[in-house]
Chain A
Amino acid sequence: MTTLVTVPELETRFAGVITPDTRKGYEGYIVDVQHLKDFAKALRDEYGYDYLASLTGVDYLPEDRMEVVYHVYKSTGGPGLVFKVQVPRENPIVPSLVDIYPGANFQEREAWDLLGIRFDGHPNLRRILLWEGFWGHPLRKDWREPYFEEEGKPYSSRWPEGKHFHHEDRNPFGKNVDYPPGFDPYTWEPETADEILYQAVLKRSEIRDDLRTERVVINLGPQHPSTHGVFRMIVTLDGETIVALEPVMGYLHRNHEKIGERNTWIMNIPYTDRLDYISAMANNFGYVLAVEKLMGIQPPERAEYIRVIMAELTRIVNHLWAIGFLLNDLGAFFTPALYAIEERELILDVFEAVTGSRMMNNYFRFGGVARDIPEDAWEKMVELVTDRLPRKVDELDRYLTESELIKSRTIGVGVLTAEEAIALSTSGPVLRASGVPYDVRRADPYSIYDRFDFDVAVRYHGDVYDRYLIRIDEMRQSLRILQQAIRDIPEGPIMAGKPQYQVRVPPGEAYGRVEAPKGELGFYVVSTGKPNPWRYHVRAPSFVNLIALETMCRGHKIADVVTILGSIDIVLGEVDR
């Protein structure tokens, strides 16, 4: 399970600047706002905590303060360290850490957007998931959505003897909208005009050289066949070469965190399915780990094995999909994807038999899994894992890896060096393809991953080709883990204690991180002992990996953007949440 440490040396060195967090259930240090940058710099340069995994804010309304929480790790592996800064709720300003950890970029923008915490010194502090001009900062505890009913579920209108009503009937517009008092739509002027955004991107690419050529701004998406969903990029070109790129997201921002904070703990499990909807059970895994850490329970042996089996099958599903659609983006339209989807369908059959659903599995529970694997599904899975899938992975490898189409379009394209990859907080295949053998399953083992014999796949060129190859490698390693898990799985119960609807979660905070197929997926949860989480934050791997997109694309041709984006393998449910 995710472990955090305290470094005694820090306390003596930064005496007066940092204080250990002594609240019940909390860990780490509280850092004085004035000295945050010095502290972070020392952590990175002298203590080796060079990887900022997660950054998020928490609104402690009763105590009238905002808190920003940082989770940092060593890129060589091992437990992490958490530190926090506290600022007043009224006009919270925190120094930006973008120049120390460039990977803080989007996460700070998100905290500004949703919580209204201003990061002083951030190069581009604009809203990221919502649009400029949106009314309020929705994750603040006193902000209410138009369909607001009660602070937390279960709502009395639904349970125990409630009568359901349509929210539309109570809204004067019959829609999910609300407007500030005194707002006049006739005199209103938009703040979010695309031209402003285009000008900003154009300005950023201004280079003073002798030969002045005209820059062209191109907009890709959000409705574009190769953006893997509703993702949008604004690209500035010099001829055909990219000089600046600005990702625009939020077109699928469906308020995961706000809804999650209204939900009871267990209600969030099906919502996590819909984060990275291609690998639903990996998301379940991260969330239940975080909550189990708070609750202090341990699932039984058999459940641990089932979890690992499901998570690894999910990884294979995801990588098959990613490879198929990377090839789509390269111009091999749909044929390689059809080969990949064929295998995916067979794995989904197993999922359907085990969990009851093809995609949205909702299978993990606090302290175990929902149900045992039925006999026929087990046999089917054993056949897949031991016979069919190894053959099919080899087949994909044989068909694709030496293909000229792939090699000429991907080798040397979208290079990300190891230093950049760590600094930009990338994770998963993107980080490992750049030569950093960092895999949460090895670096900070959770569940029972320390029992299995597998290699952390790593490649060293950091280009699109390596990011493709690493997915093939990882599928092979996943199959190795699966074969061992199938061999070793014991009989026994699959749930610790009785299944219950309302779980009791003691007050405190927890950060659960897993190696999801797309990278490090983290859940930061804060409990106050009530039936609903006080804070529920998702550190989504594809969201953070997108910070590296501009670095990867700069200097390449416009046609390569699509390939590079395909090689990061984003899924918009997770990027926008």
Chain B
Amino acid sequence: MVRREGKDRLEGLQVPGYDIPDEVKGHVVITTLNRLYNWGRRNSIWPMMFGLACCAIEMIATAASRFDLARFGMEVMRPSPRQADVMIVSGTVTKRMMPLIVRLYNQMPLPKYVIAMGACASGGGPFKEGYNVISGVDKYIPVDVYIPGCPPTPEALLYGLMKLQQKIEKQSLKEVYLQKDEYIPEPVLGPDIMDPRDFPLIREYTMKKLEEMRESAVSSEQ
């Protein structure tokens, strides 16, 4: 188990404040159900095997022997979203890919987490101004941990995953179990990407634009 000092320290299993006799200290742990449950959960996060761009290469390097994700119980990369706990969005999210990412996210079982790895997934990164790039995956799906870097080094990814472990540790069982699965409507590709929730706004905007165009045409004729 990872033991670190200061505010990044992950909690141990033992709840402090209970005195355990010395002779059974190696065999007995007094803890809460919450803590036991989260302890198991945070040490067996299965990421989805899902690479988008350059960051995916660093993600693979993290899973390889030098950095070794297995130390954190995260080496089980699952190609299917149905078996994954965390989606590492590793790379530039394009408009063309966005509907599929939302679909994958919807297919993941609860509790699910999303890590935005790298500058592109967090906010568009160097490609933000591009016409086909989403300014951060959090425009469509909720994100738990953002990892800066272009691409983040494997150490940075590990740090991000440890942050996720800390987040999991702080969640209560009740919160996790009663969580409702929120279905996120898939964006559609029209003349540009469209979020179905934005449809009224889109119509309002385009009609206004059309009116402005007509007005300017009329005024230029006069």
Contact = CB atoms under 8 A, between A and B. Distances in A.
Interface string A97-137: 00000000000000000000000000000000011011100
Interface in A520-575: 572-573
Contact of A168 (B130, B135, B201): B135
- With most chain B CB atoms within 10 A of its CB, the pick from A167, A185, A342 is A185
Contact of A225 (B79, B91, B206): B79
Contacts of B14: none
B213 A181 contact: yes
A427 B195 CA distance: 41
Nearest to A253: B132
Q: Which 5 A-B pairs have the closest CB atoms?
A: A255-B130, A135-B191, A277-B54, A145-B131, A181-B209
A250 interface: yes
Interface string A252-271: 11110011001000000011
B129 interface: yes
B194 interface: yes
Interface stretch (B17-25, B55-63, B163-171): B55-63
A87 B80 CA distance: 49
Given A168-B135, A230-B97, A338-B65, A146 B192 contact: yes
A222 B100 contact: yes
A262 B129 CA distance: 10
Given A179-B192, A185-B190, A572-B53, A270 B126 contact: yes
21 contacts: A133-B190, A134-B192, A145-B129, A177-B194, A178-B192, A182-B209, A185-B190, A223-B100, A229-B56, A251-B100, A252-B52, A252-B94, A255-B127, A258-B130, A259-B127, A259-B130, A345-B61, A359-B54, A359-B58, A359-B151, A360-B150
Interface in A341-362: 341-342, 344-345, 358-360
B218 interface: no
Contacts of B60: 341
A183 B132 contact: no
Nearest to A226: B79
Interface in A209-264: 222-225, 229-230, 250-255, 258-259, 262
Interface of A: 130-131, 133-135, 138, 145-147, 149, 167-168, 172-186, 188, 190, 192, 222-225, 229-230, 250-255, 258-259, 262, 270-271, 274, 277-278, 337-338, 341-342, 344-345, 358-360, 572-573
Nearest to B214: A181
Contacts, number: 175
Contact of B199 (A146, A147, A149, A186): A186
Contacts of A185: 190, 194, 199, 202-203
Best-surrounded residue of A133, A190, A259 (most CB of chain B within 10 A): A259
A190 B191 CA distance: 9
B139 interface: yes
Given A222-B100, A229-B51, A172 B205 contact: yes
Given A146-B192, A176-B133, A185-B190, A254 B127 contact: yes
Contacts of B65: 338, 341-342
B106 interface: no
A254 B94 contact: yes
Nearest to A576: B94
B114 interface: no
Instruction: Name which of A168, A178, A253 has the most chain B CB atoms within 10 A of its CB.
Output: A253
Contacts of A180: 191, 206, 209
B141 interface: no
A192 B79 contact: no
Given A133-B191, A181-B210, A176 B131 contact: yes
A345 B153 CA distance: 12
Given A192-B189, A253-B96, A573 B54 contact: yes
A224 B79 contact: yes
Interface in B166-222: 188-195, 198-199, 201-203, 205-207, 209-210, 212-213
Contacts of A135: 191-192
Query: A135, A147, A252 — which one has the most chain B CB atoms within 10 A of its CB?
Result: A252
B132 A130 contact: yes
A130 B190 CA distance: 11
A421 to B, nearest CB: 28
Contact of A345 (B66, B190, B198, B203): B66
B189 A223 contact: no
Given A223-B100, A277-B53, A251 B130 contact: no
Contact of A167 (B135, B190, B192, B201): B135
A329 to B, nearest CB: 13
Contacts of B203: 184-186
B57 A342 contact: no
B128 interface: yes
A542 B209 CA distance: 41
**Which of A134, A342, A358 has the most B CB atoms < 10 Å from its CB?**
A134
Contacts of A270: 126
B94 A253 contact: yes
A179 B191 contact: yes
A192 B95 CA distance: 14
B100 A145 contact: no
B136 to A, nearest CB: 9
Interface in B90-138: 91-92, 94-97, 100, 104, 120, 124, 126-135
A252 B125 CA distance: 14
B64 interface: yes
Contacts of A250: 94, 96
Given A145-B131, A167-B128, 10 more contacts: A131-B189, A133-B189, A145-B130, A167-B129, A179-B194, A179-B209, A255-B130, A274-B126, A277-B54, A359-B151
A360 B130 contact: no
B97 A222 contact: yes
Contacts of A174: 139
Contacts of A271: 126
Contacts of B130: 145, 176, 254-255, 258-259
A358 B153 contact: yes
B135 A175 contact: yes
Given A146-B131, A190-B189, A359-B151, A182 B96 contact: no
Contact of B205 (A179, A253, A342): A179
| Most A CB within 10 A of own CB, among B95, B104, B192 | B192
Interface in B37-72: 49-54, 56-58, 60-61, 64-66
Contacts of B100: 222-223, 251
Contact of A252 (B53, B135, B188): B53
Nearest to A171: B135
Contacts of A131: 96, 189
B53 A342 contact: no
Given A223-B104, A229-B56, A342-B66, A179 B202 contact: yes
B156 to A, nearest CB: 11
A342 B68 CA distance: 12
Contacts of B209: 179-182
A130 B206 CA distance: 22
Contacts of B129: 145, 147, 149, 167, 255, 259, 262
A370 B203 CA distance: 51
